[in-house]
Chain A
Amino acid sequence: MKTNREHLENTIIRILKVTGIIFFTVIVAFPFYWMFVSSFKSLGEILLHPANLGLDIRKIDFHAYYEVLFEHGFLRYICNSLYVSLITVLLSVTLAVLGGYAVTRLHFRGQTFMSYGILVVYMFPAIVLVIPLYVVFSLMGLRDSIHVLILVYMAQTIPVALYMLRTYFQGLPLEIEYAGLLDGCSRVGVIWRIIIPLSAPALASVALYTFMIAWNEFLFAFMFLDTPEKFTLSRGIVQLAGSVHLSKQLVMAASVMVTIPVLCLFFIFERHLVRGLTSGAMKG
């Protein structure tokens, strides 16, 4: 029998829950909504009704996107960002798989040191590294290059990627690898045919993480890149914001273009992230 007090408590908890969810959704979603809506308005509309949050569907204007893409060079920036991010993902994941496997399964001198030391690299804040790296790369004549950016992003993402994969690999049963070795695989064969398929969920999250870091990164892109043809998206937005003081809708359209791919990727991979592939491998 439910007492009145219990009933009251449950009601309060339910109300608090709903309020909390609404509160955080608004905080997170509102800026995004505003950005989205503004990007479809014309400059005149924004200047006339700056406080208007609604979007008149009949007045949707794609002109900002067109202008940003073709007149401000964002098509190029998108390609650059995609190139940098995808190459970073490819290299980081490959190296993290090999490194993560090595520190988990292979026995060598300094294994523990390597396994934890790699995280120490990650402890240095980027701002500490950016000046020395700027100087070093300038002296070497490598600074204004997309490939140096890839190198820096790899250094930034590999420690965490490796750490994530190491934890996942440790959870994989050793006997499956033994079975693979006896069935005719080499070490590399075991990684390729057994470890990688079994780690698909972990690999998806590591790839997503790496992609997001590389796609969103601003500090190094801002410091290292001088030539507009080499700009990445985030660097391009700053350039745009600096050059068009009034045209908010252009900056908003550019921002939407930065945000959308990451969001899409997240929703595509989200299912893979939670799927546990190992269930059924082991008994008990």
Chain B
Amino acid sequence: MSSLTLKAISKKFGKIMALSGVALHVDDGEFCVLLGPSGCGKSTLLNVIAGLIPQDDGTVLLNGQSIDGLAPRDRDIAMVFQNYALYPHMTVAQNMSFGLRMRRLPKATIKERLSEATGLLGIEDLLDRKPRELSGGQQQRVAMGRALVRRPRLFLLDEPLSNLDARLRAKVRLELKRLHSQIKGTFIYVTHDQVEAMTLADRVVVMCNGEVRQIGPPEAVYSCPEDTFVATFIGSPEMNICRGTLAHKEGRTYFQGAGFSFDIGRAQPELSTGEVEVGIRCDDIKISTKQITGLEAKVEMASNVGPEQYVHVRLGQEELTLRAPKDQTLHPGSLIHLTIDGNLVHVFHQGRRVS
């Protein structure tokens, strides 16, 4: 097992900057998730690490040694693809052992590794089948198994669960997490699904437009987003962002938005009083039933999502989303009062976090 370091990786496709200056260090045994919207360069980054696409600039280091000059087959990296990419003309056993046979490992070793991996994944019965005779979930396991038997220095997983239906996905996600703790491998996992990222990752790397926007443990990325992109990309429903200005008054700081204003806590004179964006998670806005708070909002729509409801309201000229218990009756057009926990709001200046 190994650590991976990326130094200033850049890649251009024609005029499009697919990756620009990506730097990252992944520790031995870490589960690192690359998270971002489609086309943000996360799969390209994975292909660069694997050596399938050469980078224009930068270095890939495995265990501190540059692997830039190595062909994919010499890098000792295994990859699981979104569409599994099983060899259709080979049986499951042949698929899984292909990499080992190519490396001319002794037959006994191949057999041993094969039975170990199939046992781990519960696919002992499938060995003689062809890929087209397998269900999606089984194909996914075989693809995983093909990587496992190799015992590579690094596992790359490119959206391995996105072709599974929702129920299976949740199940396989848990299995994957367990598998990682069992084999203690270094995993780099690409996804656009934030739930996968949050549940699987030791650390999340949020990417956008070929750049790394934030690296950190899932909790940190959620609770302390570095910029408005990360803030709105992570969390569901999306974080509310309001534009306005800050004012310091009597030892406290106030946010003045379009048609409303609220206290955001102790005065922080270092904060600029100019244009800012304030981000508020929908959990941090509460509907006040008793008192008049000065934040009067109009209910526009309530959507029931099962255990709770998302309420879309208009506060001043801003539209906000908040959560409410499912049994609370909220008619469109009715007026409600909100409380916003000022200590929990996120303040951004020109998109970057300032507080």
Query: Footprint of B on A, CB under 8 Å?
Result: 173, 175-176, 178-186, 189, 194, 197-198, 277-284
Contacts and interface: CB of A to CB of B under 8 A. Distances in A.
Contacts of B47: 178
Question: Most chain-B Cβ atoms within 10 A of its Cβ — which of A182, A198, A278?
Answer: A182
A283 B87 contact: no
B93 interface: no
A283 B133 contact: no
Contacts of A277: 88-89
Contacts of B77: 182
A269 B319 CA distance: 66
A283 B159 CA distance: 13
A283 B139 contact: yes
For the residues of A in contact with B, the DSSP-based class is loop
Contacts of B81: 175, 178-179
Contacts of B72: 178, 181-182
Interface in B81-138: 81-89, 98-99, 102-103, 130-134, 136
B73 interface: yes
A120 to B, nearest CB: 27
Nearest to B85: A175
Interface of B: 47, 50-52, 71-73, 75, 77-79, 81-89, 98-99, 102-103, 130-134, 136, 139, 146, 150, 163
B86 A281 contact: yes
A176 B75 CA distance: 18
Nearest to A282: B83
Contacts of B130: 280
A176 B87 contact: yes
11 contacts: A176-B85, A178-B85, A179-B146, A180-B98, A181-B72, A182-B52, A183-B73, A277-B88, A278-B88, A282-B84, A284-B163
A183 B101 CA distance: 9
Nearest to A183: B99
Contacts of A197: 89
B132 A186 contact: no
Nearest to A196: B89
Given A178-B81, A282-B84, A283-B83, 7 more contacts: A178-B85, A181-B51, A184-B102, A184-B103, A185-B102, A281-B131, A282-B83
Nearest to B130: A280
Given A280-B133, A283-B139, A182 B79 contact: yes
B85 A282 contact: yes
A182 B102 contact: no
B69 to A, nearest CB: 15
B2 to A, nearest CB: 15
A176 B77 CA distance: 15
Contact of B85 (A173, A185, A189, A284): A173
Contacts of A198: 88-89
A173 B83 contact: yes
Contacts of A284: 83, 163
Contacts of A283: 83-84, 136, 139, 163
Nearest to A284: B163
A280 B52 CA distance: 24
Nearest to A194: B87
Contacts of A189: 102
Contact of A186 (B50, B71, B75, B89): B71
B98 A183 contact: yes
A280 B89 CA distance: 9
Contact of A178 (B50, B88, B146): B50
Contact of B73 (A182, A280, A282): A182
B104 to A, nearest CB: 9
A198 B85 CA distance: 13
Given A183-B73, A280-B133, A175 B87 contact: no
A149 to B, nearest CB: 36
Q: Can you list the 5 inter-chain pairs with the closest CB atoms, starting with the nearest? A: A280-B132, A184-B102, A175-B85, A183-B99, A281-B88
A186 B52 CA distance: 12
Contact of B131 (A175, A180, A184, A280): A280
A184 B52 contact: no
A184 B84 contact: no
